[in-house]
Amino acid sequence: MPRRTLTFPKAAAAVLEPEGFVRQGRNDWMRLVGDYQDLIDLQVSSGLTDITVNVRMLEKSIHALLLEVSAGRGFSIYPVNERVPKLIHGRDQWWKRSDPQGPSELAAAIGEHALPLLERLHSPAGLLAYLEPTIIKWRNPFGRMYAAVLLHRMGRQEDACALLSEAPRLVRGPMLDGLRARLGCEIAAP
């Protein structure tokens, strides 16, 4: 009887399911750890010949607050959104789906890099440390809003409000004003 080749989803499942991840659809695995929602997904290239792996995470109560202040306009963003190969090499990588070593390499990358990243981020201080480099000059507005809520919860009200000030015109609006109001920040006149 011919030996079956390990597929990318099976290889990912072998690493993720023992860690509490539950498969959601074809190529996604999700788990809840306290108020943190972790997502690992396999992304297939548009030509269907290559595959990579992404790691995402959000804090559910902050996400709910941002959804509330966005007036339910479909706000859905993971402030942590990384390609696992970038965690390893600092650059993107796609595995050939035809490569027999690909699934085991991808599984090792998840176990050695994605899971430790998520563990480091399962605290307000860890998540804030991750977000700080991405929030400079409003380059990542949702990450900046997440960071402001984290600072507020850590008792750093002045820092939280400062982070939400001087927003560029494209970011200003009801969502930002709603968040400022919820955090007790002064809302600047238009």
**Does pLDDT of 11 surpass 70?**
yes
13-50: per-residue pLDDT in tens? 999 999 999 999 889 999 999 999 999 999 999 998 99
For Cα atoms 139, 119, 182, give the angle at the middle one, nearest 5 degrees.
Answer: 50
Q: Which two tokens stand for residue 158?
A: 């002045």
Where do the structural domains in the chain lie, given as residue ranges? 8-122, 126-183
Confidence of residue 76 (pLDDT cuts 50, 70, 90): low
First to last CA, the chain: 73
Which of these, 63, 18, 23, lies nearest to 40 by C-alpha position? 23
Measured CA to CA, the distance from residue 130 to residue 150 in angstroms comes to 12
DSSP class of residue 156? -
111-161: per-residue pLDDT in tens? 999 999 999 999 999 999 999 887 877 777 888 899 999 999 999 999 999
